[in-house]
Amino acid sequence: MSKTWFITGTSSGLGRELTEKLLARGDRVAATLRKTGALDHLLAQYGDRLWVEQLDVTDTRAVHEVVGRVFAQWGRIDVVVSNAGYAVFGAGEEADDDQIRHQIDTNLIGSIQVIRAALPHLRRQGGGRILQVSSEGGQTTYPNFSLYHATKWGIEGFVEAVAQEVAPFNIEFTLVEPGPAKTGFAGGLVTPPPMAVYDQTPAGDMRRALVDETFAILGDPVKMVREIMASVDRSPAPRRLALGSQAYDHIHAALTQRLDALEGQKSIALSTDVDS
């Protein structure tokens, strides 16, 4: 049975690929993007099964207005996909205050507001599914992506808590965690002026790997979108969906390292309770 979707960040990358694949199989999509015109050919092809609206997720009032309007027009949204985002690429010290603020406003606060805007409508209709596009970077870290990681770790914590809050209303969440994929993501990086002091550090190594294109990118966005689409038919919803061998390997290694470190602190943790 066909579904109705609301998706942010549809002009490129996974959002664009997902929109195209959903329309091709017969679903309806309400697609938002910052720059109009990118989906004109799809509008011409699919007509009223595609609803397109300009939206900057950093505009909280606009987020709530657009979400409310699409629910009012279409009556029901089965799946909400919070996908809009980008990355500031540079050492944490290199970014200026505006870059820091905009990164957080887009990836973290923007995603929070999309979810908050959708919840009352999903609750009234008796439930639904929310897919929050995070990243393997919501559980792992790379040098030069410190600000990006701050937003992805932040949104994962938000989703984990909100999922518990709204479970009684039949609203389920999945955190989508793709690894590096051939989506053109690197082309959208915002890069602060580099500081020479980082040239011979892991941050400098990462910068050179991207510039020289020696950083491995193994993920296939078409296959990733296929799994995202399949995930909404699983019940209960998977809380996390790791996509790509790099995502699996990196997340597994990070979790193993963290669990080993925690086990090594067990005696310290147990020794700091109040005396019984």
Enumerate the active-site residues. Answer: 134, 148, 152
Beta bridge partners of 81: 7, 131
Cis peptide before 238, with omega less than 30 degrees from 0?
Answer: no
Retrieve residue 112's tokens. 């929070």
Concatenated DSSP letters of 121-181: HHHHTT-EEEEEE--GGGT---TT-HHHHHHHHHHHHHHHHHHHHHGGGTEEEEEEEE-SB
| Distance, CA of 193 to CA of 223 (rounded, Å) | 35
User: From residue 229, how far is each of 22, 77, 160, 215, 263 by CA, in Å?
Assistant: 8, 15, 21, 28, 37
Q: Which residues have a Cβ under 8 Å from the Cβ of 276 and sit 6 or more positions away?
A: none
Say how far apart CA 66 and CA 14 lie, in whole Å: 21
Give the CA distances from residue 33 to residues 15, 16, 58, 103, 120, in Å, rounded to whole numbers and listed in that order: 9, 10, 12, 17, 23
